[in-house]
Structure formats: structure tokens, C-alpha cells
Amino acid sequence: MKIGLIGTGMLGNAVGLHLLQSGYQLTAFNRTVEKTNELKKNGAQIASSPKEVAENSDIVITVVKDANAVKQISFEKDGIIHGTHKDLIVCDMSTINPLESKKISDKFLQYNISKLDTPVMGGPNVAISGDLVMMASGNKNSFDKCKGLFDTIANRVFFLGENGTAHAVKLAMNLQITMLALALSEGITLTRGANVDPKIFLEILNSTYFKTGMSENKAFKMIQDKFDATFTLENLKKDINTISETSKSFGLELPMTKKAEEIYENAVKEGYGNLDYTGILAYLKKLNEKN
Ligand SMILES: NC(=O)c1ccc[n+]([C@@H]2O[C@H](COP(=O)([O-])OP(=O)(O)OC[C@H]3O[C@@H](n4cnc5c(N)ncnc54)[C@H](OP(=O)(O)O)[C@@H]3O)[C@@H](O)[C@H]2O)c1
């Protein structure tokens, strides 16, 4: 099975490396060509357009920033639709608005391309060993054809039904990430305010029922001001904006999302966007220095 990969940012690059290590033939494209160098070194063919990726693949995985980027690589000049052929399946791993995702799937269908939604939980650190958690939605027959590939990429794969569904659930997942990062950051800030070593706060938290993977792992980097990105604060802000838009279109009121959106937007405005999303702690530190 020949696999195509469009978008070799932090997540796409790790997924691509794992597919090569697992023996798949891979053709990759990225708008900024330098970001394909590592995959090239590891045996990937590098294409000059999404069209060329589609022409050379049975299944194309897209992992780009947002819905606009997905539309550009799919439908614009030299996009995926221009390289279509019989039985092509597109799997979109980007985190995007579920309603946009549905529209994109419908447009692909006009070109006889089956498009699955395949957002994931977990970052490059787990993608490199095929340990992501995948949520999938779309045509079940196409899903069945791709299941072997998905089992290589992820250690759990959940099929959730019609197009759009997986992206809605993925947004609910990123809501957890948002609130956990904020709760940890405010807890650390409060502990520091009391002149207590935040390591103690983490040790106590991790002795309770309320501990999380984040409090057991990333939190120890956070208190050392280590914010090298595996998932940028800018991209989490993008996801909170998407959660906000999506909840509005569902007619829902999510008050904590509104507040979190304001905080993350201000952090990006103040220049924290390229840090890891847990860099929200650095923004809170700065905020409290001003007071
Ligand atoms: N990192 C994670 O832990 C993680 C986990 C789950 C889901 N995700 C989601 O996966 C997607 C990629 O995330 P990432 O962390 O890999 O982000 P990233 O490192 O910032 O990479 C973003 C990718 O999107 C491409 N892109 C952006 N705008 C584009 C456009 N208009 N046309 C074509 N390509 C465009 C970028 O190309 P250039 O290199 O040319 O800018 C790059 O390949 C996002 O939707 C993110 O929310 C990430």
C-alpha cells in the first residue's frame, strides 16, 4: 500500500518517520520543503505538490494547521483533487472544525474521493512509536480498507460514525488539554506566590486521585521553565477558537472555553505562540510580574 503525507510539521514528520520504519512506501509534500529533509534521509520520496502525492498514493494523510490549509492543499491549484485516481482515500489528521470537515468531505465526494476524518491524541513523542490514539469518522468501507494503516499509526482506534463526528470529539479532547494546562499553571503560580517549591505541589497532586499524565510528566518541565514545543501554544489557541466557533454553531454555552480563549489569545499577542502550549505558565508568570 502506497501512502502519501501532506504536511510534515511536528506531528506529520513523526507519523511519516514511523510509517517508513514500519516498512511503508511514503511520498511526502510540505509547503516549506526544508521540513521534508528528515523524511527524505529516511527513504521518503519528496513530491513537488499535493497533486503529485495523490498521483503516487493509495491513501493520502493530511496533517496541516487548520481547515483553510486543508482546503488549499485539497482543492486549489495542484491540490489533491488534480491527482485523483480510482479508489483514492484521503485521511485528514489535522484538528479542524467538524462542520468544515463535513463540507470538505462532501466536496471530495464530488471528485469520487472518499475522505475520512482521522484526528489523533498524542504528539510527536508518541507518534514516533505508533502510539497515538485515533478517532475516525466517514465511510465505513474506506475505514476498513485503512484499518491496517491506522493500527500502525495508533495503539487505539475508535470509529465514531459519519463525517465530522471524530473532529467534534477531538475538540472535546483538546478542551481537556486546555483546562488541564491552565489549572496546573494557576496551581503552580499560586504555590510560588506562597513561597512554596512547586515541586511539592506536584508531588502532593500526584499522590491524589486528581493526578493526570500532564501533572506526572510535562509539569516537571514546566516548573523548570522548559517549554520546547511538541504542540505549540499558537496551535492550541487555534483549537480553542475552533471549539468556540463549533459550540456556537451547536447552540451551546461553554463559559470556561470563553475565558480560556481570552487567556490564550492574549498569550499569543504577547509573543508566547511558539512555545509549547504549557508555556501558558510563562505567560502567567509575566502577568504576575506586572501586578
Ligand atoms: N503536535 C501535536 O501534538 C498535535 C497533536 C494532535 C493534533 N495536532 C494537529 O495536527 C496539525 C499539525 O500540527 P503540528 O503540531 O504538526 O503543527 P506545525 O508543526 O505547526 O505544522 C503545521 C503544518 O501545517 C502546514 N500548513 C500550515 N498552513 C498551511 C497552508 N496554508 N498550506 C499548506 N500547508 C500549511 C505547515 O506547513 P509549513 O511548514 O510550510 O508552515 C506544517 O506542515 C494541527 O491541526 C494540529 O492541531 C497536533
Share of the chain above pLDDT 70, in %: 100
* Strand ordering across the sheet containing 154-159: 120-121, 132-136, 154-159
Regarding the beta carbon of 32 and ligand 1, being less than 6 Å apart is answered yes
At 86 the pLDDT is 92
Residue 51: CB atoms within 10 A of its CB come to 19
Regarding the beta carbon of 83 and ligand 1, being less than 6 Å apart is answered no
Regarding the beta carbon of 242 and ligand 1, being less than 6 Å apart is answered no
Across 92-98, average pLDDT: 97
What does each C-alpha distance from 22 to 15, 91, 132, 172, 281 come to in angstroms? Answer: 11, 18, 15, 31, 37
The residue among 84, 155, 72, 69 whose CA lies nearest residue 115 is 84
The answer to whether residue 23 scores a pLDDT higher than 70 is: yes
Confidence label for 168 from pLDDT (cuts 50, 70 and 90): very high
What is the residue with the minimal CA distance to atom 27 of ligand 1?
Answer: 65
Regarding the beta carbon of 12 and ligand 1, being less than 6 Å apart is answered yes
Across 197-224, average pLDDT: 98
Regarding the beta carbon of 71 and ligand 1, being less than 6 Å apart is answered no
Closest ligand 1 atom to residue 231 Cα is: 1
Confidence label for 262 from pLDDT (cuts 50, 70 and 90): very high
Closest ligand 1 atom to residue 229 Cα is: 1
pTM of the predicted structure, to 2 decimals? 0.95
The answer to whether residue 26 scores a pLDDT higher than 70 is: yes
Closest ligand 1 atom to residue 11 Cα is: 16
Candidate of 48, 63, 128, 173 to mutate for ligand 1, largest count of ligand atoms within 8 Å of Cβ: 63
Question: In the block, which residue shows the cell 492574549?
Answer: 266
At 235 the pLDDT is 97
How remote is the CA of residue 195 from the centroid of ligand 1, in Å? 39
At 273 the pLDDT is 98
The CA dihedral of 142, 144, 145, 149, to the nearest 10 degrees, is: 110
At 291 the pLDDT is 65
3-state secondary structure (DSSP) of residue 40: helix
User: For the chain, what is the mean pLDDT?
Assistant: 97
Regarding the beta carbon of 105 and ligand 1, being less than 6 Å apart is answered no
At 290 the pLDDT is 72
Across 65-76, average pLDDT: 98
What is the residue with the minimal CA distance to atom 20 of ligand 1?
Answer: 9
What is the residue with the minimal CA distance to atom 39 of ligand 1?
Answer: 32
pLDDT (tens digit per residue) in 104-124: 999 999 999 999 999 999 999
Candidate of 62, 65, 94 to mutate for ligand 1, largest count of ligand atoms within 8 Å of Cβ: 65
> What is the per-residue DSSP string for 210-249?
T--HHHHTHHHHHTTT----SSBHHHHHHHHHHHHHHHHH
The answer to whether residue 33 scores a pLDDT higher than 90 is: yes
Q: What is the rounded distance in angstroms from the CA atom of residue 11 to the CA atom of residue 16?
A: 9
What is the residue with the minimal CA distance to atom 25 of ligand 1?
Answer: 64
Candidate of 235, 236, 246, 278 to mutate for ligand 1, largest count of ligand atoms within 8 Å of Cβ: 235
Closest ligand 1 atom to residue 94 Cα is: 45
What does each C-alpha distance from 159 to 50, 123, 130, 136, 150 come to in angstroms? Answer: 26, 20, 18, 5, 11
Across 265-289, average pLDDT: 97
